Amino acid sequence: MISGAYKTGILVKRYASVSDGMGGFTNTYSTSSTISGHIRTMSGEERMSADKQTLYATNRLYCDSADITEKDRIVDGSTTYEVKFVDPKLDLDNTVRFMQVDLLKIE
């Protein structure tokens, strides 16, 4: 398994609306989990296309099964990415072997 090459301390940040204490809400990202994984830069030829809509991704995260959605952000050190597409890779018995997550670097 490729998990031997994984880096620890990658943060999954989940979008949430929280009360501002004055009757309104503030939208924020807060850490939902910390995972281990490998983030690699994608080349221009690897741009993803799905449902006739092109998804622009700059990087790809490989990790073990984790709770990651397309509304999340991934933070690795000082670099932040938007999650664009989550693709769980399944074994023959439909258990998740690992996840491939396409990311767009934003910071």
Domains of the chain: 2-105 (2.40.10.270)
In three-state secondary structure terms, 51 is coil
**Whole-number Å distance between alpha carbons of 37 and 7:** 5
Query: Residues 84, 54: contact at Cβ < 8 Å?
Result: no
Q: Tokens at residue 78, please?
A: 């000082």
Q: Would you write out the chain's pLDDT as a tens digit for each of its 107 residues?
A: 466 789 999 999 999 888 888 988 888 899 999 999 999 998 765 555 555 566 688 999 999 989 999 999 999 999 999 999 998 887 777 777 889 999 999 98
